[in-house]
Amino acid sequence: MNAIISAAALASESAGPRPPVLLDVRWQLGGPNLRSEYAAGHLPGAVYVDLDAELAGPPGSGGRHPLPDPEAFGAVMRRAGVSADTPVVVYDGGLGWAAARAWWLLRWAGHRDVRVLDGGLAAWEGELTTEVPDPAEGDFQPKPGGIGLLDADGAAALAREGLLLDARAAERYRGDVEPIDRVGGHIPGAVSAPTSENTTADGRFRPAAELAERFTRLGARTAPAVGVYCGSGVSGAHQVLALELAGVEAALYAGSWSEWSSDESRPVATGPAPQ
């Protein structure tokens, strides 16, 4: 099962005998949710899901977007019509990060048929609607463990013994700037690999062969294990998805830099080199 779907393929599937459940996960970092944009127009049948309130737990020592309580997440998905045997397609405004967060959470929670709309809403050429659907209750019950998850100690170990990729912008990795978290820099041993380099200018993923070449250069093919972190577990999920497209299995450090940097006992490296 491919982790992404084109707008044309989604239109075809939505008109077919087994249409996917559609989740609209439009989101902006540090701002109010984008429910108003959803209300102004969304894919027919799509249900809005709030990343900050429904795809994350309350911010705190576990980071800005810690994992949500599995039962609470399951309730949100069931209200959206998600069942264990129904395909799910998630989309956002086009960047893909928020959609990837929803994709990763569903995969982690045990759903096997979930894809991201490649290019997001910007790629959709069909009509939009303002009608808010009232889907039948789904039966999805989360079973955490469907995809790799790292805690802070696991991320530190992987940086030493495998390959830990830092998905943030290079200037944040180096510690030149830090607009959000307590301090700039990176986990010692982590390798800079900005998520933005996985997509083209229109927000679509680069071809799988190009992604495979990129991650091979970064050492993903020869590392005993691969992990990813970012600022708070959102763009890092997008990188895990890109790695999957390239044929590489990777775990996500969900707390990411927002958790790591909030703990003053954790070491911080700066500069362009991993160490």
The answer to whether residue 59 sits within a structural domain is: yes
115 and 12 housed in the same domain: yes
Task: Indicate whether 184 and 256 sit together in one domain.
Answer: yes
pLDDT at 20 over 90: yes
Co-location of 190 and 108 in the same domain: no
Catalytic residue among 49, 223, 228, 230: 230
pLDDT value at residue 120 = 97
pLDDT band at 31 (very low <50, low <70, confident <90, very high): confident
94, 10: one domain: yes
Examine residue 21 and state whether it is found in any structural domain, yes or no: yes
| Residue 162 forms part of a structural domain | yes
The helix/strand/coil state of 88 is strand
Judge whether residue 212 has pLDDT over 80.
yes
Residues 165 and 226 reside in one and the same domain: yes
Domain that holds residue 100: 4-123
12 among known catalytic residues: no
Query: pLDDT at position 244, please?
Result: 98
Flag whether pLDDT at 1 surpasses 90.
no
Q: Is residue 267 part of a domain?
A: no
Give the residue from 123, 139, 167 where a domain finishes. Answer: 123
The answer to whether the CB of 189 falls within 8 A of the CB of 164 is yes
pLDDT reported for residue 198: 97
The closest of 113, 96, 95 to 3, measured between CA atoms, is 113
Question: In the predicted model, is pLDDT for residue 122 greater than 80?
Answer: yes
Residue 167: predicted pLDDT = 98
Q: What is the mean pLDDT of the chain?
A: 96
For 148-159, the pLDDT digits (tens) are: 999 999 999 999
Question: Coil, strand or helix: which one is 127?
Answer: coil
**Residue 66: inside a domain, yes or no?**
yes
